Structures are given as structure tokens and as C-alpha cells.
Homo-oligomer: A and B are copies of this chain.
Amino acid sequence: MSIAAEVVREYWAAANQRDWDTFGSLLAEDVLYEGPQTRERVRGKRNYIRFNVEGFPGPWSLDVIRVIGEGHRAASWIQFTNADGTAQQGLCFFDLDDGDKICRITDFWPEPYELPSSREHLVERY
């Protein structure tokens, strides 16, 4: 497994355990988080830990579906389960710096949508 994939697996395990010390130890001081869907951005380790602790309270849990790492980059696919049992899949791209700390995170949360009628005849449903 690449270093990047290992670090990202540790990152998600620490988040799931609310182990914010370990979580923080994996981040660069100048980590940059972006969510392109809302155009939200968080700069810096301290702000990013606060964003996770205060922005997502409650008894959520997450399962890692897949992590792929190559060199100093990784992508993850997780399932996030809310307190009410609803689940959402999250896709995340990571960059690590030369010290193997996570320095950039880009985060996507796709929602269900209606299948366009233009391709209904070309697919099965599951």
C-alpha cells in the first residue's frame, strides 16, 4: 500500500473514533480543505479540526469502501451514516506534503437524482 493510502486510512479511522489528536497529527499545519459543491474552504489544521468537531456533531459513523494511493496522492470512497441511519457516500481526494502530512483535501458528497429519460432504455436499475 502507498504511504498516501496508509495515511488516508489512518485519517478516516481517527475521524470515526473522534481521536482528534491522531487526526491532527496526520495534517499539515497549512492544510487546505475545499468542498466544491458548496464552495466552502477551511485553512489550517486548527480550523480544520474545529470544522470537523463542531460542524458534524452527533453520533455519525463512517465505513471506508475504498482507498487508492499513488505517490503523494490518494482518493477515498467512504460511506457516512448519520445519527438517523441515513447514509451517504463521500468521495475525497488528498494531497500529502514532503513530510507525508495531508496538505490538501477536496471533498464531494453526491446525492441521489432521477434517471434522465434519455437513457432509461440503455440501463438496468438496481
- On whether A122 and B42 interact (CB within 8 A), knowing A89-B36, A93-B77, the answer reads yes
- Contact-residue size bin, chain A (C-beta under 8 Å from the other chain): 35 or more
Main secondary structure of the interface of A (DSSP, over half): mixed
- Shortest CB-to-CB span from A82 to chain B, Å, is 12
1/0 per residue A93-126: CB within 8 Å of B? 1000000000000101111111100110011111
Residue of B nearest to A118 (CB): B55
What B residues does A35 contact at CB under 8 A? Answer: 123
Give the interface centre of A36, A43, A110, A114 by most chain B CB atoms within 10 Å.
Answer: A110
A interface list, Cβ under 8 A from B? 1-2, 5, 34-43, 47, 50-51, 54-56, 66, 68-70, 73-75, 77, 89, 91, 93, 106, 108-115, 118-119, 122-126
